[in-house]
Amino acid sequence: MKCAVCGKDELLPFKCKYCGEFFCAEHRLPEKHNCPGIFAASSPYEKEMREVRMKVKAEEEMMRAISRQTAFREVVHITTSIILVSLVGLSLIGYESLLFINPSLTILYITGFSLTYLMHELAHRIVARRNNVKAYFKLDPIGSLLTLVSAIPMLPIKFIAPGAVVLTTPATIRVVGSTAFWGPATNIAISAILYISSLISRSLHFSPLLSGILLTGILLVLAKFNAFIAFFNLLPFGPLDGLKIIKWSIARWAVAFALSVTLMILTW
């Protein structure tokens, strides 16, 4: 008989009782010829460990699949929220004004308006994950609808809350408070930078294609919007960031609130 692995002729070949093939002395053991029935040849402990490893591997694959689905869904939610917020931003300057404003300024305005909201939510997410708390952005159906309605130009009151970062694992008051704090803190920093930039733009000379007056006005609008977002979220009511920050540190809340009010006055 020939060995099923190496083809060596054997006068007295070894027959594997698990797969029924014949082998030479070198390949007679199940693990030496990759026996399909090697599982039956394993000890009870080996069988149990193999089952455990297979189960763990299956669970890991499932978790990776869920993670990919969650990441894709989060990207879709964030993209949708940016579109909704951009529409509200355009409604503040009027859709008809797009015909008269330089395209570069329009892009700058839309980008700045979208980043205002995006940076606020990303700050929440980054701080939460740095504290080993799972968090992801999720659209809110009612909030998204109200934000879409707010994109109507003639409405005097704008509601901008298409979604929020949700914490999915338990967290301490410190983590919840610091996560809430860095959202409006980011808007305060952006507002201050934009306000200073608007002051600088007034003293610079621009070409006819890039009006200094329009640029200054857009920078002021974005600075004012960031200050308002910070002020609104710092109000100590309901699910807003303010109440969470107060429970963690009332001093930090007071400083942030005072800065947001100051910036709102300066940019008015």
For 95-150, the pLDDT digits (tens) are: 666 666 667 777 777 888 888 888 999 999 999 999 999 888 999 899 899 889 98
Of residues 256, 233, 119, 135, the one with CA closest to residue 185: 256
Please determine, for residue 234, whether its predicted confidence score (pLDDT) is greater than 70. Answer: yes
Which residue do the tokens 């093939």 mark?
21
Are 41 and 30 in contact by the 8 Å Cβ rule? The answer is yes
Please determine, for residue 193, whether its predicted confidence score (pLDDT) is greater than 50. Answer: yes
Are 124 and 108 in contact by the 8 Å Cβ rule? The answer is no
Average the pLDDT over each of 6-15, 49-58, 121-130, 143-152 and give the range with the smallest value. Answer: 49-58
CA 102 to chain centre: 32
Model pTM above 0.75: no
Percent of the chain with pLDDT over 90: 25
Tens digit of each residue's pLDDT (9 = 90 or more) over 144-190: 998 899 888 877 777 878 888 888 888 899 999 999 999 999 999 99
Return d(Cα 52, Cα 199) in angstroms, integer.
Answer: 65
Please determine, for residue 230, whether its predicted confidence score (pLDDT) is greater than 70. Answer: yes
Q: Provide the pLDDT for residue 177.
A: 93
Of residues 12, 13, 6, the one with CA closest to residue 33: 6
Q: Provide the pLDDT for residue 8.
A: 86
Which helix H or strand E contains 164, and what residues bound it? strand 163-167
Confidence of residue 208 (pLDDT cuts 50, 70, 90): very low
Q: In the predicted model, what is the mean pLDDT of residues 188-211?
A: 75
Which residue do the tokens 């006068």 mark?
11
3-state helix, strand, coil in the chain (%, to 5): 65, 5, 30
Q: Provide the pLDDT for residue 197.
A: 86
What single-letter DSSP state applies at residue 50?
Answer: H
Give, in order, the Cα–Cα distances in Å from 217 to each of 106, 191, 202, 229.
Answer: 12, 14, 10, 18
Confidence of residue 47 (pLDDT cuts 50, 70, 90): low
Neighbouring residues of 202: CB distance < 8 A, sequence distance ≥ 6: 212, 216
Which of 29-33, 66-70, 163-167 is most confident? 163-167
Q: Provide the pLDDT for residue 207.
A: 46
Q: Provide the pLDDT for residue 209.
A: 42
